[in-house]
Amino acid sequence: MKLTLWTYEGPPHVGAMRVATAMTGLHYVLHAPQGDTYADLLFTMIERRNHRPPVTYTTFQARDLGSDTANLFKTACQNAYERFKPQAMIVGASCTAELIQDDPGGMAEMMGLPVPVIALELPSYQRKENFGADETFFQITRALAKPVEKTAHVSCNLIGPTALGFRHRDDITELTGMLADMGIAVNVCAPYGASPADIARLGAAHFNVLMYPETGEAACRWMERELDLPFTKTVPIGVGATRDFMAEVASLTGLTPQIDESRLRLPWYSASVDSTYLTGKRVFLFGDGTHVAAAARIARDEMGFEVVGLGCYNREMARPIRKLAKDYGVEALITDDYLEVEAAIEALAPEMILGTQMERMIGKRLNIPCAVISAPVHVQDYPARYSPQMGIEGANVIFDTWVHPLVMGLEEHLLHMFRDDFEFNDAAGASHHGGHHTTPTPETQQPETTEESAPGTVIWLDEAERELKKIPFFVRGKARRNTETFAANQGVHEIGIDTLYEAKAHYAR
Amino acid sequence: MSLDTPPAKGCRDAPVLKQRGQHEVFCGLTGIIWLHRKMQDAFFLVVGSRTCAHLLQSAAGVMIFAEPRFGTAILEETDLAGLKDAQEELEREVERLLARRPDIRQLFLVGSCPSEVIKLDLARAAERLTTRHAPKVRVLNYSGSGIETTFTEGEDACLASMVPALPQTDERELMLVGALPDVVEDQALDLLAQMGIDKVTVLPARHADDPVAVGPNTVFALTQPFLGGTHAALERRGARHVPAPLPFGEEGTTAWLAALAQEFGVERARFDAVTDAPRARARRAVKQAAETLAGKSVFFFPDSQLEIPLARFLTRECGMQALEVGTPYLHKAILGPDLDLLAEGPQIAEGQDVDLQLERCRAARPDLTVCGLGLANPLEAEGLTTKWAIELVFTPVHFYEQAGDLAGLFSRPLRRRAALHLEAAE
């Protein structure tokens, strides 16, 4: 048993729903109790889909247990086929149905439905949402994809985008355009927008673009083996990664790399003088492994930030993320426990968080700006406008998105100069953070004697405490920590104004 | 729209359509979202799966910034395989939780579908934990599982679990039963106090220490229609229910208060003196929204069990026509007075086969469809105007001062549709 307050990933059958909802002509019959229908609202409300997910739930009740849950499943399956007439069906169980062991796969097979029925075995008590999506798409591909004649011109499949993904809709558009510039057509994009008939002709492509390893890698590996389809290993998020990706595509196809950078603005925006204030900003990254790895490279090499910590919630990516963290000289945090992430952020006191919806909450609580780089995300991260993460436009979008929550260069100076102005002070926060955002930082409420400082018991003298308050709020946490660390290293037990400025000089960059 | 005369024939004996198919409803765990806000020193620990945790955070919509007073002890493979003693595991998690949250005075162990299926004995766990943590923390248990409870029935199960632990009293007292926002609860208490009814307790109380007792001289009034189990538990303790329409809208609130006034022998003149002004205010407020609603038709998908009293409010006070009123369960003992006031005509439906009900809804083309979050956007995309039902349990809607807000919840979607001119943009 493990106590959980918020989860980064849902159960694996939600992953299967993300695949089914992204596709057309496919129906999912899920053996599950009535409450599990909540998952529909993820798609209809958070992603604003205008159709119900193609899922039939058996919604069994306590009184059905032990008597006819199996019949309930068969009836639901038969009715779903007749009502929706899908080209193929997937069947499986949610966590509760897994316990009653009705074997939906076996039952559906015995029913002799006139379309392919693919059974899913998704262990609810061991695995999670990303695994569920990856495994489901793999099983669908394995069941339906057959060797077929290759297209005459060079073409590829886009693999991995699902419903409820982070900017998947726009990443597809961006990549399709970039590949077209090189003369490469998209044969099939899957699961997003694909029908079972489309899955059958995956093999006509010359190679696969693995957009999201979290949800498409198992299928890509299988297609590499069985359909002779090599797949790309670089995820084109960020300027460098996009260039590397196009070079990889060129080497797979023998075509000359061509990349239209006329719309690319990130490099100049990062190099322009206003961005000086970005340099060395201490950032913490957390999310799914793929997006964190991409964001780390952008943060360090393309924005000039200092990466002070990074990690991922999906254990499947633990190895590459640990390796990556080593390159950045930090310890990787691999956990799906929100409280651990919060503790790590609190201890590191970064100036910005690049994370998920959860880290946005942490950021609000700790008063640290946060930009979202990875699922899980909320309704505001499904914008109406075109805003991909991948490719040239993705790089532009990322620059804007990451800079937005920060206090701007000039504003930072003004805040410092006029910190005692009644409407331009600490508590008022930055002008673009919203007028209501006036909650004082936790530290001003409770003069911290945090655990780190407790053993040595460093005491802040009143005058130093007052001086500290004059420092703008967005760097005050760092100043406090640096001073305490400095004092502890020097064996000083009382912090006065001198200690504060000694520390400032010590840490001056 | 005659307010004071009941219809010639109500819906109490109307035939009820019962279908069994896919239910598109939440499970009882969802109630934790509002219950944990109401009981400020309580923690709700769901013993369940990742799905339960995911449901709670999805249903909460926007997450609560502070650490919430609810969580899920997620069962793992080893718990299911019997490799670990689930009772010991649970006790360990509870120890850790209580150590971190010393402000917690009541802990609810909440059963889920998986914990019910593997027959995890949460009653025994609650007993053992109570013994260990008494008197500081009281540990109770109830089931919010989807195989036993539908949406608001979770609150019913929670409140029912509290009844046996209430102290005994012989005082003649009134107990209001149902979790309402504090501001609304205070309004009700104030109206009752003005009538001279001042020995009033509320279940659930805001704090564990608030004195709530029950006995043979207790009478109780329900503020929510879905409290059938709590109703039965209170009767077992000797308390007596005062039946009345539910306090939605001006008419419902007046009838609800009148039943209590009669029970406590409040004179007519005093009753009028207390209620006249707020009644007039409520009528004025409802009238504004009713301009949009009058003559329009409404179709209810089953959701919170509030459907019958709300249909009564919308037809009698807002001039709407009800086509179908679906409810997950129909407790006639509780809803009888509301059914009497709802004029015959609408199809009353209990339970659900969502695909068949969607067909009926599409054929009926109602002006307004009240449904859950999973159906609302798809129906809007088909051109139907919808009101998401969950807002009705998350928003203050009871009693006089909220009557206008309640009507407004239904008129806003219609006003929005009228306000948007998107044809040119499409």
With CB atoms and an 8 Å threshold, state whether A41 touches B374. yes
| Token reading at A400 | 């804007």
Average pLDDT over residues B303-316: 97
Residue A36 confidence (pLDDT): 95
Residue A285 scores a pLDDT above 90: yes
Contact between B154 and B32 under an 8 Å Cβ cutoff? The reply is yes
Q: B23 to chain A nearest CA, in Å?
A: 6
Say yes or no: ipTM exceeds 0.85: yes
d(CA B124, CA A194): 51
pLDDT tens-digit series, residues B136-151: 999 999 999 999 999 9
Element spanning A117, H or E? strand A117-119
- Which ranges constitute the DSSP H helices of B268-402? 268-293, 307-316, 332-341, 354-364, 373-381, 390-394
Sheet of strand B368-371: strand arrangement: B16-20, B347-352, B321-327, B297-300, B368-371, B386-388
- Residue B238's region, left for phi above 0, alpha for psi from -120 to 50, else beta, is left
Q: Find the residue in B nearest to A52 (Cα).
A: B378
Residue A410 confidence (pLDDT): 57
Which residues of chain A have a CB within 8 Å of the CB of B24?
A: 37, 40
| Token reading at A125 | 């008590």
d(CA B156, CA B144): 9
Residue B3 scores a pLDDT above 80: no
pLDDT tens-digit series, residues A204-241: 999 999 999 999 999 999 999 999 999 999 999 999 99
- Which ranges constitute the DSSP H helices of B101-198? 113-117, 122-133, 153-162, 182-194
pLDDT tens-digit series, residues B274-285: 999 999 999 999
d(CA A472, CA A411): 11
A186 CB-contact burial (10 Å; exposed 0-12 / middle 13-18 / buried 19+):
middle
pLDDT band at A415 (very low <50, low <70, confident <90, very high): low
Which residues of chain B have a CB within 8 Å of the CB of A76?
A: 22
With CB atoms and an 8 Å threshold, state whether A96 touches B147. yes
Residue A431 confidence (pLDDT): 45
Q: What is the pTM of this model?
A: 0.90
d(CA A178, CA A82): 41
d(CA A296, CA A285): 7
Average pLDDT over residues B299-325: 97
Nearest beta carbon to residue A41 from set B92, B355, B373: B373
Nearest beta carbon to residue B374 from set A44, A58, A60: A44
Average pLDDT over residues A416-440: 49
Residue A6 confidence (pLDDT): 85
Instruction: Give the number of other Cβ atoms within 10 Å of residue B85's Cβ.
Output: 11
A7 near B CB under 8 A: yes
Nearest beta carbon to residue A5 from set B22, B71, B79: B71
| Token reading at A313 | 């919630």
d(CA B406, CA B289): 9
Average pLDDT over residues B385-406: 93
What is the CA B260 to chain-centroid distance, rounded? 21
Short-list A45, A51, A1, CA closest to A22:
A51
With CB atoms and an 8 Å threshold, state whether A44 touches B80. no
Residue A384 contacts by C-beta under 8 Å, 6 or more apart in sequence? none
For A134-165, the DSSP string reads HHHHHHHHHHH----PPPSS-EEEEE---TT-
Residue B390 confidence (pLDDT): 85
Average pLDDT over residues A404-423: 62
Which residues of chain A have a CB within 8 Å of the CB of B25?
A: 34-35, 37
d(CA A137, CA A369): 36
Q: How many CB pairs under 8 A join A and B?
A: 184
With CB atoms and an 8 Å threshold, state whether A44 touches B373. yes
Which residues of chain A have a CB within 8 Å of the CB of B69?
A: none
Which residues of chain B have a CB within 8 Å of the CB of A65?
A: 117, 147
Residue A339 confidence (pLDDT): 87
d(CA A383, CA B9): 51
Residue B403 scores a pLDDT above 50: yes
Residue B349: strand pairing partners: B17, B326
d(CA A486, CA B170): 67
| Token reading at A155 | 């073409």
Nearest beta carbon to residue A62 from set B55, B147, B380: B147
Q: What angle do CA B115, B390, A355 make, to 5 degrees?
A: 75
d(CA B154, CA A330): 46
d(CA A206, CA A250): 12
First to last CA, chain B: 40
Q: Can the peptide bond before residue B6 be classed as cis, meaning omega within 30 degrees of 0? A: no
Sheet of strand A26-31: strand arrangement: A55-57, A26-31, A88-93, A117-119
Query: Is residue B9 helix, strand or coil?
Result: coil
Residue A501 confidence (pLDDT): 86
Nearest beta carbon to residue A33 from set B68, B75, B113: B113
d(CA B81, CA B199): 52
For A53-77, the DSSP string reads -SEEE--B-GGGTTTTHHHHHHHHH
What percent of chain B is predicted at pLDDT more than 90?
83
Which of B18, B36, B58, B75 best tests the A interface by mutation, with the highest count of A CBs <10 A?
B58
What percent of chain B is predicted at pLDDT more than 70?
96
Chain A, window 69-98: residues with a beta carbon less than 8 angstroms from a chain B beta carbon? 76, 79, 83, 94-96
Average per-residue pLDDT for chain A? 90
Residue B24 scores a pLDDT above 70: yes
pLDDT band at A427 (very low <50, low <70, confident <90, very high): low
Average pLDDT over residues A263-280: 92
With CB atoms and an 8 Å threshold, state whether B146 touches A83. no
A2 near B CB under 8 A: yes
Residue B176 scores a pLDDT above 90: yes
Residue B181 confidence (pLDDT): 93
Q: B230 to chain A nearest CA, in Å?
A: 20
Residue A505 confidence (pLDDT): 84
Q: Find the residue in B nearest to A56 (Cα).
A: B22
Average pLDDT over residues B187-195: 97
Residue B326: strand pairing partners: B349
Which are the catalytic amino acids of A? 274
Which residues of chain A have a CB within 8 Å of the CB of B381?
A: 50-51
Short-list B184, B187, B182, B221, CA closest to B205:
B182
First to last CA, chain A: 47
A509 near B CB under 8 A: no
